[in-house]
Each structure stands twice: as C-alpha cells, then as structure tokens.
Structure 1
Amino acid sequence: MTTIDALKLLDIARDIAVEAGELAASMRSAGISVASTKSSQLDIVTQADTKVEALIRQRLKDLRPEDAFLGEESGDDTGTSDITWIVDPIDGTVNYLYGSPNYAVSIAATVPTPDGVGQAVAGCVYAPALNAQYTAALGQPAHLNGMQISVNKDVPLDRALVATGFTYDLAKRDRQKRTVAELVPHIRDFRMVGTASLDICAVAAGIVDAHYMRGLPIWDYAAAALIATQAGAFVGGLGKTPPSADLILVANPELAKALEPFLL
C-alpha cells in the first residue's frame, strides 16, 4: 500500500494546474477553434484541450511516474502505485471557445476504495481568467486563493440559489427541463454557468447554495467534489449513493435533503 501524503499531492496538483491554466489562457488570447466533437455536435474539443492535457500528463509523468492517469481527452494509463490522477484540462470548453472567463483546469489525485468508486485525496480547480484557485486535501479545510471557505448553512429551500446545467446528450434534456420546471417555483433562482467544476466549487465558497447535475463524467467533478466536501457540503447521488454520471447533488446536508425529492 502506497503511503499517501495528501498535502504533497495537493502541491503538485496546484503547481501543474497553474501552469496548465496559463497555457490555456495564452492559447485563448491567440485565438482558438473547434478541433473535433465527441458525444454530439455540442460536445466539442479545441486544440487547447489536447495540448493542455498533454502538458499535465507529461508533468505528472515526470514527477510521479508510478501513478496512473485518467484524462478526458487522452484516456487512461495504468500505474504501479495506488494513486490515479483524474484530469479535465479545460472544463467549460464551450465557454472557453466563446471567450467566457468561466472555464477551469481540474486535477485530482485519487485512491481506490473497497466499493470501487475511489476517493479523491487532493484536488485543485483553477480558473485562470477569474483568478480563482480552489484547493483541498482530504482531512483539511478547503480554500479559495488561500482563504478558507465553507458552504452556506441554514438555507431553506425557498431561499436557495441553485446551479445546474444541461447534458450534451440531447435525448436526456427533456428530463432535465422537467426538473427545472418543477423546481423553479420552490427556490430563489437558478444559475447556469456552464462549467460543472466551478459550480461545485461555488457551493463550497458560498457563492451559490446548491448544485445538481446529471450526466457528468468523473473528470468534471473529481477535484471539485473533494473541495466541496472539505467545505462542509453533502456530495452524493440520491439517498446514500456516491456521486456518479446518474446524478451529483452538492449542498449543505439539510438543503440536499430538501432538494432530493425533486431529483427522483
């Protein structure tokens, strides 16, 4: 069993995320275009996605050659340690393409768990155009730019500001639209930023009260979910299930219970 130094792993994630974010920002300033699509014509990849992920992969290989890697664009590599790095080089690619500042580099170090889901032990979500660096290590407080953050508490459902988004799978959007329509009379308002990792981190920082989303792959939330958990949020699926592509719900525990019936 590999000895885990979560704070050391966090230092690595933070340093690489900053370098990767600077590359993404410089490429955006130089101009960028769509390189390909994935699950649908809405699910795009830019040249920056692949170059930023290649940089992250190489930096991790240089520093941690024994670790495994799972990236959105380049897939997975096995390792000989208990650490797997889960990476989204640019979460919010459509925002990035359009010049919105709401995009982020997401890097998480994870370890296996008996249930096979895995546990993030260190994570960084870095939004270079927002100058926002969210970080956490397992068992340690979550931070935004070095300042400790925490989830909003004692928020009744009718005062809740809720973040969500729509999947790129058009066949699943009708269900998502119905959920929004059912919830909207019961909450303060919705926010749709278009970058799941930043939405989840916004819950951690008290910028919004809750986030839910269906259809998210693990690289979209691996780092952010740890950050929100360490900020005091409930992070899971329905009931006591862990977050998954079926559903991720992030809020203070009481608000999560109030939201759950609308997400069944």
Structure 2
Amino acid sequence: MAEAKDAVTAAIGSGDIAARFEHAIAVVREAGRVAMDYYRRVDELVVESKANPLDVVSIADKEVEAVIRREIAAKFPDDGYLGEEMGIDRGKNDCLWVIDPIDGTACFVNKMPTWVISVALMVGNEAVIGLIYEPNGDELFAACIGKGATVNGKPIAASQVDNVNAGVMGVGMSHRVESAALVPFIADLLDREGMFIRNGSCALMMAYAASGRLIGYFEPHINPWDCMAGIVLMREAGGWCNGFLDAPNVLEDGAPILVAGPKVADVLSEMTGVK
C-alpha cells in the first residue's frame, strides 16, 4: 500500500490527488441531483436495450456521464475518462476517471431505488479515489488512497466476521458468462449455511461490503466501471480484494471480482476460485 501511494504521489503529487478528491465529491453529488430528477419522471424516459434485453440504457445514463465529464474537465482539463456510455478518452496525463453514471439501470428504469453513481480515479495502473453515491438514501461512500473510507464523512470498516454463515454475501451475474460460473459458489455458500443477496447494483453491494453490511461481494465477470470505485473503498476500509487490476487488458476486457472482509477472504477465495 505504501509503495503504491508513493508511486501515485510521485506521478501527480499528493495535493493534486486531494484536490481531485474534493472536487469529485461535489461533482458526484451534482450528478446525483441530475439523476434523481430523471428518476422522479422515469415513465417519460426513452429506454434502449443493449445486447441483452435486461441490459438497458436510458437518456439519464448518458446525461449523467456527460455532467460528470464536463464538471471534472472544468477543473482538470488534462485528465482522461473511461465511461460505460461514452467509452474511453485518454487525457494528457496519467489520470483516468472511470465512470458508471447509473449502476443498476434496470433497477432505475423499473422504479427500484437500488442504483448508484460510481466514479473512480486511476493514476497509471493504481486506483486512488473511489466514490459511490446512492441518491435515494443520500449516502456517499468515499475513499482516497491512504486516507481510509467513509460514508457521509463517518469512517467505515469491512466486516470482521470469521465465518461465511455469520453475515450476508453479495453476488452478481451477467450473461457474459455461463451460469456455471456462479451456481456452484451459491450452492457451496448455502451448504455452509450462508446467505446471499443480489440487489441489481454491483457498486452498491461493494459499498455495503466496505461498510461491513455485507461480508463480501463476488461476480464472475465484471467491467471496470462497475467495480473500480468499490475496489478503492474496500481496500481503504481494511478489506481484501482479488487481483482485478492485475488481469490482462482489464480496462478493455474486465475480469472476475471478489472482495471480502479480511477474516473470510481466504475461504471465499477458495470457494470462488478467484485469487
């Protein structure tokens, strides 16, 4: 951790990281206000399907990402972006903002509150800032490298339970992989008298894991914009994360994600086969 922080500081300076962190907090809250305005009139939105009918996008997703990019660029014009809706735009420095404007769009368009705005900052190959904002509950989960993790300014910590049956596990799934990538893990978890939830938003469940509400989160394949902020949160909250960022071509291709409280990390890694 110390080596990663030193490398990031050498790349852009600790003051630059702190300035981006504070600015991004304001930007994410503004994006939340825009998203909530759309959510309150969701029946009026034009909704499009992607490759799978359950993978949807609305004008809200596109507008919220545009707001985030515009507001960050106003203060840090040389930074780059990787967003779910607008793709990648490399900047003039080592900073890359990774954006999911609405994680849980299917929930959003079906009037369920389990959706969030997820924004992370990478400097080179290191994730250094993670923000997940849940507008319905007005909860902002925030973390910056070496500074710990908070929700609405109050410190949070990953779960300290030492058995998978002592808490609830978050799981996610997409049609990019076959059911066999997840079903054996769920069967094993249930056989161990554990329990799981899937609420439609990977980022929200990762935020819940970082705050100790869940013992962990597993998804066999995930895109970087869905989980990058959650990785920073979990790490800064004292939890464990697999080597997602070490996967080849991870920004383009994604990879499996597993985060966990430190005392169940080994057993969950063994159960999922994710290291």
- Fold match by TM threshold 0.5: yes
Aligned residue number for residue 165 of structure 2: 158
Bigger drift between 154-163 and 208-217 goes to 154-163
Residues 158 and 210 of structure 2 are in contact (CA less than 8 Å); yes or no, is this contact kept in structure 1? yes
Instruction: Give the drift of 1:141.
Output: 1.3
Aligned residue number for residue 73 of structure 1: 85
Residues 42 and 168 of structure 1 are in contact (CA less than 8 Å); yes or no, is this contact kept in structure 2? no
Over residues 212-251 of structure 1, what are the superposed CA-to-partner deviations in whole Å (9 max), with x where a residue is unaligned? Answer: 112210001111110111000001149x966963311111
2:146 to 139, 154, 158: 139
Aligned residue number for residue 254 of structure 1: 263
Instruction: Verify: 1:179 aligned to 2:192, yes or no.
Output: no
Instruction: Give the drift of 1:181.
Output: 1.8
Aligned residue number for residue 3 of structure 1: 13
SS of residue paired to 1:130: coil
Instruction: Verify: 1:20 aligned to 2:31, yes or no.
Output: yes
Instruction: Give the drift of 1:81.
Output: 1.3
Instruction: Verify: 1:108 aligned to 2:120, yes or no.
Output: yes
Q: 1-side partners of 2:152 and 2:239: how far apart?
A: 19
Q: 2-side partners of 1:22 and 1:204: how far apart?
A: 24
Q: 2-side partners of 1:143 and 1:199: how far apart?
A: 15
Q: TM-score, normalised by structure 1?
A: 0.91
Instruction: Give the drift of 1:6.
Output: 2.4
Instruction: Verify: 1:44 aligned to 2:50, yes or no.
Output: no
Q: 2-side partners of 1:235 and 1:73: how far apart?
A: 26
Instruction: Give the drift of 1:253.
Output: 2.6
Q: 2-side partners of 1:241 and 1:85: how far apart?
A: 18
Unaligned runs of 5+ in 2: 1-10
1:233 to 230, 239, 251: 239
Q: 2-side partners of 1:168 and 1:53: how far apart?
A: 24
Unaligned runs of 5+ in 1: 113-117
Q: 1-side partners of 2:261 and 2:63: how far apart?
A: 37
Instruction: Give the drift of 1:15.
Output: 0.7
Residues 237 and 246 of structure 1 are in contact (CA less than 8 Å); yes or no, is this contact kept in structure 2? no
Q: 1-side partners of 2:52 and 2:261: how far apart?
A: 34
Residues 164 and 189 of structure 2 are in contact (CA less than 8 Å); yes or no, is this contact kept in structure 1? no
SS of residue paired to 1:42: coil
Instruction: Give the drift of 1:26.
Output: 0.7
Which amino acid in structure 1 is aligned with residue 12 of structure 2? T
Q: 1-side partners of 2:49 and 2:75: how far apart?
A: 31
Would you say how many aligned residue pairs link Structure 1 and Structure 2? 257
Residues 91 and 220 of structure 1 are in contact (CA less than 8 Å); yes or no, is this contact kept in structure 2? yes
The percentage of aligned residue pairs carrying the same residue is 28
SS of residue paired to 2:178: helix
Aligned residue number for residue 197 of structure 1: 203
Aligned residue number for residue 115 of structure 1: none
Residues 161 and 187 of structure 1 are in contact (CA less than 8 Å); yes or no, is this contact kept in structure 2? no
SS of residue paired to 1:215: strand
SS of residue paired to 2:188: helix
Aligned residue number for residue 188 of structure 1: 194
Which amino acid in structure 1 is aligned with residue 255 of structure 2? D
Instruction: Give the drift of 1:7.
Output: 2.1
Where in structure 1 do 4 or more consecutive aligned residues deviate above 4 Å?
240-244
Change (3 A) 1:168 1:46: farther
Over residues 163-200 of structure 1, what are the superposed CA-to-partner deviations in whole Å (9 max), with x where a residue is unaligned? Answer: 0022133x522432232123211143111111111111
Residues 236 and 242 of structure 1 are in contact (CA less than 8 Å); yes or no, is this contact kept in structure 2? no
Residues 13 and 122 of structure 1 are in contact (CA less than 8 Å); yes or no, is this contact kept in structure 2? no
